[in-house]
Structure 1
Amino acid sequence: MSMMIRPPHSVLLVVGREDFVPPTTFGGATCVATPDCVAVAVIDVTQSPTRIALSPSPGHDLRKLGEFWIESEGLVSIRDIFGREHDTMGVPPGLTLVTIWGDRDDAPRDVAVQITR
């Protein structure tokens, strides 16, 4: 299931722990990660809302933007930079593979977060 959101500052965080460390810079990439957080730069909030989906299957008609292993305590969630949770999925504790899919390479409007183990 997908939903439309308007994240502040056009950044989404995919986190696996309550006490996570977000990346400090994008370095020109659309998505970057630390051991427990993936940051995704999305379309500017003033231009359009962002459609997000969190699921174990990849997004349709989307391109792979990045693949990262993050540490999880049993849940993976999509949050904005203020910590507001937009979606969550239960996973086994430990390392979880997070694949980010988007409708374009830079600042996507449609983002699918695929969670596999």
Structure 2
Amino acid sequence: MLIGLLAFVLFVLLLIMVTLGAVLVARFVLGGSGSSARIVAAAFSGPMTLALPVFAAVLSEGFSWSELGVVLFLLAFLFCAIGWPVAHFATRRLDRLTQFDPRVFE
């Protein structure tokens, strides 16, 4: 029970860290686009780096596409529940920090 809880907490922390990294990558790659596009890109591309090994394991074990769809739905729900708020607040904070302030040169 305790090991399962610790594994879940570790997985959530990994999701948060890869989402924060994806926020930075989205800022560099999609710099000219709006913040909502960067939020969506970061919320799904970051956690998908953790999901790709899961998909590879599911497909290599011979599961059907319907079972893969169920796994994809559950992971997408988890990504939306964890990845979107992290990406939203981190993108807003990063946008505020990277705005030009003319008072620097006064």
Same fold (TM over 0.5): no
**In proportion to residue count, which structure has more strand?**
1
* TM-score of the superposed pair, with normalisation by structure 2: 0.24
* TM-score of the superposed pair, with normalisation by structure 1: 0.22
**In proportion to residue count, which structure has more helix?**
2
Higher relative contact order (CA 8 A, sep 6+): 2
